[in-house]
Structure 1
Amino acid sequence: MSFAKSQKGASVLGIMVVLALVAFFLSAGLKMMPHYLDNNALSGIIKKIESDKAADVRTIADFYTYVKKGMTINAIRDLDLEKALEVKIENNEFRAHLKYEKREPLIQNLDLVARFDKEFRVRMP
């Protein structure tokens, strides 16, 4: 019975290890969150082309111009749109392929990498 009385909970070392792990994952999450938010905003911009009748997007150049304006509004600065977005016109619709990756340094030579690869079909107005 004396064994049960000697157990009192987590040690200081155990608590420090748990706090270090929480801090590590929180730091990694906070570093990657802006990239996922930017990708979500880009996807929304591309999807909005179909419903925005005032934009009158009919050519590939118009498509890129519309997306660039949306990137300016959403403060997405660190993405080369010509490399990340490929647009084709097939069967009276735009086929947009958004493919890029973002790297965020973690510890010395270790990086966090997020790859984004999504295809969109946007009907022409």
Structure 2
Amino acid sequence: MHMKRTLQAKHKQDGMTLTSFVVVLAVVGFAAYIGMKLFPMYQEYYSVRSAAKAIAAEPGVGDMDPSKIQSMLFKHLDINYSENVKEENVKFDRIDSGWRMKVNYEVRRPLVGNLDVVGVFDISQDLTRGGGTD
């Protein structure tokens, strides 16, 4: 009698049904799909951020003309294959120790049907006369 109950208890613990497995697989697949759409956007953002930090480390960058600084930025971005940052997205404000470079841009990627994923990125970097980041 005791043996029969143990077998029945084990039989009830079958695990995941095919339907629940398909639902879990669909959720994981959709999350992976969204991740594949978002990854290039954030990879580009980190490339722009690292390019801005590299320029800030240049000695005497705070005394340079903004057009020269912008040219340096786009040379860095060409190396990193950035395609969404345009010249009109880069602005310079005068600060006491040099320049504050602001890079504001938007990336739009199609997701499903008529739905898009939109990323709005805003990067600000101080460019001082001595070089180095503040």
Q: TM-score range by the shorter chain?
A: 0.7 to 0.9
Give the counterpart letter for 2:30 in structure 1.
F
Aligned pair in 2 of structure 1 residues 42, 57: CA closer, same or farther (>3 Å)?
A: farther
Q: What does 1:37-76 correspond to in 2, within 5 Å? A: 37-53=43-59, 58-76=64-82
**Alignment partners' CA distance in 2, 1:9 and 1:28:** 29
Give the counterpart letter for 2:54 in structure 1.
K
**Alignment partners' CA distance in 2, 1:75 and 1:56:** 26
**1:59: Cα distance to partner?**
1.0
Question: What TM-score results when the alignment is normalised by the length of structure 1?
Answer: 0.86
Aligned-residue Cα RMSD (Å) equals 2.2
Structure 1 counterpart of 2:22: 16
Structure 2 gaps, min length 5: none
Q: What does 1:1-125 correspond to in 2, within 5 Å? A: 2=8, 5-53=11-59, 58-82=64-88, 84-125=89-130
The alignment-based identity, stated in percent, is 24
- Secondary structure at 1:10's aligned position in 2? coil
Give the counterpart letter for 1:80 in structure 2.
K
Give the counterpart letter for 2:50 in structure 1.
G
Tell me the matched-pair count.
Answer: 124
Structure 1 gaps, min length 5: none
